Chains A and B, each alone.
Chain A
Amino acid sequence: MMRFRIIAVVFAMLFAAAPAVAQDLKVTEKILPNGLKVLLKEEHKAPVITFQIWYKVGSRNEQLGKTGASHVLEHMMFKGTKKYGPKQFSRIVMRNGGNDNAFTSKNYTAYFQNFASDRIGISLDLESDRMRNLLFDAKEFLSEREVVKEERRMRYEDDPVSTMVEQMMAVAFIAHPYQWPVIGWMADLDNLTREDLERHYRTYYAPNNATIVVAGDFDTKTLLPRIEKAFGRIPRGPAIPKVGAVEPKQLGERRVAIKRKAELPAVFIGYKTPNVQHADSAALEVLAGVLSSGRSSRLYRSLVYEKQLALYAEGEYDGITQDPNLFYLYAGIMPGKTSEEVEQALYGTIDLLKNEPVTADELQKVKNQIEAGFIMGQDSVFYQAMLLGKYETVASWRLLGNYLDGIRAVSAADIQRVAREYFSEENRTVGILVPLKK
């Protein structure tokens, strides 16, 4: 019902549920002379269309002291241009029966509109306008910064588990920007100026740093010239500054215990793992399925169902990222149980993966889940466009073409090997939420 400007932390979940795409992706790619990449996925099953524009900028491109800039800028993108003043963007979209929103992550900032298919012109007009012509009204900036602080209070300050996870991430990375939260530290939000945002915008919002993805009910031959007309005249921007940070190899376990008022403890563990470009990515994806895809998965079966140690227990590979990131193992602890017990039980599950190959049936089950998820995911054109945009932004949409083959090729020995390689004590960071008595 409600639409917000959101921080994209949820899409990893989508991937865990239904990763993949067809071998023949049936995508038309065109790179305009100004560097803008256009991906068109024509699909006529429903009279709807999704238009998405993905900028290759996120919290990864920020600095300490000014964290959260990408996300605040995302909010400012709705605050008007000379042509369409403040408050106009979403109203124009809604007046045309559309829904719009945006999300920011560590690696990207993306904007989308979903419409009945005859309204695509609205997106072309509005998005080409705000790629270059944002107003940055001083009063709007100050007000919107307060809105983002309220968002931070809601999502982090008042949520004990999120607070713990945020601090665990800050410890997991020492040299790489993945250490800070996408929404930014509270003091940094107060430090951000209108000028900081304008600089961020001028640096990163350019055709040569963006990908347009359109999926749904349109004709490729007629849509492409319209996109070229709307966006082609925008000049290429200067070269995009590279993120040079490289996280050094982790040499020992890192731990952080967060003490605050809370009902139940929680544990959140991150292992450094390679990202989607790496050959081990498919095995890690399948391994995540073995751990937590469905109630028959190992973590649910063992920790939640059989031992009743945890209220929830999951594993998740967060590797669709530009730079190497983490594989998470996490659990909420049942009353009467301790975080120590649950942490050890999580390691027990990992040890089993290292010591014994998964059975043929279990491997087949996870592959079936991923393949079925792929087919079911095609029910939504929005979801298909999301996948293309996300892959293209962190690596290449073409990786999706080999995704299922990669999954099918994973063997029990591969899973055992990656478990041994990455899930070591030296390579992990552990966050514990320690509830204080009220």
Chain B
Amino acid sequence: MVNVRRTIRTGACAVVVAALLATAGAAHAAKPIGKRIVLDNGMVLLLAEKRDLPVVTVSMAIKAGSMVEPADKPGLASLTASLLMQGTARRNATQISNEIDFVGGSLSVSGGSDFASAGLRVLKKDLRLGLDLLSDVLRNPVFDQKEIDRKVRETLAGIQSQKDEPGVVADDAFTRAVFGSHPYGRTNDDVAAYLPRLKKRDLAEFHGAFYGPDTAIIAVVGDVSEQEIVHLLQEYFKGWKRAPRPAPSIAPMPARERRDVIAIEKDITQANIVLGHIGISREDPDYYAVLVMNYILGGGGFSSRLMDNIRDNRGLAYSVYSSFSAQKEPGAFSAEVQTKNESANEAIAEILKELGRIRTEPVTDRELADAKAYITGSFPLRMDTSAKIAGILTAVEIYNLGLDYPQKYPALINAVTKEDILRVAKRHLHPDRVVIVVVADQAKAKVH
């Protein structure tokens, strides 16, 4: 059996960095996780030497996400990112894929909401080639019209195909309802409506304005010395400049006064339910208390209240969880579940009941101790591969966490009290003001 791969959705808000960080943990290591170096062109390098394998992993975050795309051009940031790989002044799309594939490496660029991201992984012996390709696609894209047309068709087809995925349909409706015209609220439909109008000039201007050394962070993990990588990066990114344009003004997130149910009809056997509202940003002082609170509520897998109640006790669902997507701006708090159409109301009621309970009753000592034990104790697993280390390094820079973040982390978590949890649950969970999206066979689900 295989798992059929589908095109990744574009346009809608991605939460990669936040997700990494939500699980970025404590530390036993005594030394900083890496070194921060500012290159001559202003680009920030975060380096963690790792010599056990002859491999180098590079991860970049570039402030060129949908947050800085014009409101009337939803998807421009994402399309720009994916078209970087489709031809430069020196190489066409075919040459780019031939070169990286020939050495068994990987190279990718993709969009996001706060940041676009680029990734490279090569054997050490191919590092020079890899950086040449990475810098070439970031610096010299040509946005050939044929490639634009091709990518637009492909993206539209991907969006159409995703209409068969009830989870995507539910997420899109939820995103729109919660974030409105704010860039975090861009949906597949917005992108699909804009793409036929996408112009080469828009892509070139967006790239020229937002891709540059002062908007980019580069994390490097692997078999390379500081001297060597700094030298190579100075060489390949020398003279990189952008023609900055002010970021567009950002529409505010809508205020919400009441509970709303959005019922979407689909001929399926399960109700796909997403409920929630605006949550917190990564820089919110309540972040760590919210992390612990949400672990107990619905983030802690089989240790969480939602899983215990809805899956283990009631057998209503295979998957049920809650999350806070904490990014530069307040992301979503959401709880998600899939259950047979007929149980939709019961599942919703139980989720709302759990939101109410954690806001009104203190968590138990055992719950708090278990949550802290997991969140701090699983730290080594959050840094056990090069890609995970690169992700944490990037987050450390984006959110100014400090290179001693791993050392500080246990104290940040262990400082959270039962009172803190009650306080942040009251402040950041609002069961009376949730949006409830239900994609289901509505005749059977009968949501009210």
Contact = CB atoms under 8 A, between A and B. Distances in A.
B318 A13 contact: no
Given A2-B321, A335-B157, A380-B385, A147 B19 contact: no
Interface residues of A, number: 91
Contact of B303 (A45, A94, A105): A94
A379 interface: yes
B219 to A, nearest CB: 15
Given A314-B5, A368-B102, A375 B54 contact: yes
A149 B311 CA distance: 12
B290 to A, nearest CB: 15
Nearest to A149: B340
A98 B384 CA distance: 13
Contacts of B268: 157-158
B254 interface: no
A379 B303 contact: no
Contacts of A328: 2
B104 A153 contact: no
B28 interface: yes
Contact of A9 (B1, B55, B323, B373): B1
Interface string B348-384: 0000000000000000000000100110111111011
Contacts of B53: 375-376, 378-379
A129 interface: no
Contacts of B2: 9, 12-13, 165, 316, 318, 328, 330
B54 A45 contact: no
Interface in A167-218: 169, 181-182
A70 interface: no
A276 interface: no
Interface residues on B, range: 35 or more
Contacts of B3: 9-10, 12-13
Interface in A83-126: 86-87, 90-91, 94-99, 105-106, 114-117
Nearest to A96: B377
Contacts of A332: 4, 6, 161
A27 interface: no
Interface stretch (B38-46, B294-302, B401-409): B294-302
Contacts of A12: 1-3
Contacts of B70: none
Interface string B303-316: 10000100111111
Interface stretch (B92-100, B181-189, B427-435): B92-100
B270 A150 contact: yes
Contacts of B100: 294
A35 B393 CA distance: 46
Interface stretch (A60-68, A221-229, A304-312, A345-353): A304-312
Interface residue SS majority, chain A: mixed
Contacts of A116: 28, 377-381
Contacts of B105: 372
A421 interface: no
A240 interface: no
A130 to B, nearest CB: 15
A46 interface: yes
A295 B166 contact: no
Given A157-B270, A311-B157, A312-B6, A98 B318 contact: no
Nearest to B85: A295
Interface string B152-182: 0110111011011110000000000000000
B164 A160 contact: yes
A153 B269 contact: yes
Interface string B139-158: 00000000000100110111
B121 interface: yes
B101 interface: yes
B22 interface: yes
Interface in B91-132: 93-94, 97-98, 100-105, 121-123
A165 B4 contact: yes
A47 interface: yes
A164 B364 CA distance: 47
A251 B43 CA distance: 63
Contact of B300 (A94, A146, A151, A157): A94
Interface stretch (A257-265, A386-394, A396-404): A257-265
B419 interface: no
A47 B28 contact: yes
Given A157-B270, A266-B4, A308-B154, 9 more contacts: A1-B321, A48-B384, A98-B377, A105-B1, A115-B381, A116-B377, A158-B269, A305-B93, A330-B4
9 contacts: A46-B385, A87-B312, A94-B303, A116-B380, A147-B318, A169-B1, A293-B101, A328-B2, A335-B156
Per CB-CB distance, the 6 closest pairs between chain A and chain B, nearest first, are: A97-B377, A372-B104, A146-B315, A143-B315, A295-B97, A294-B101
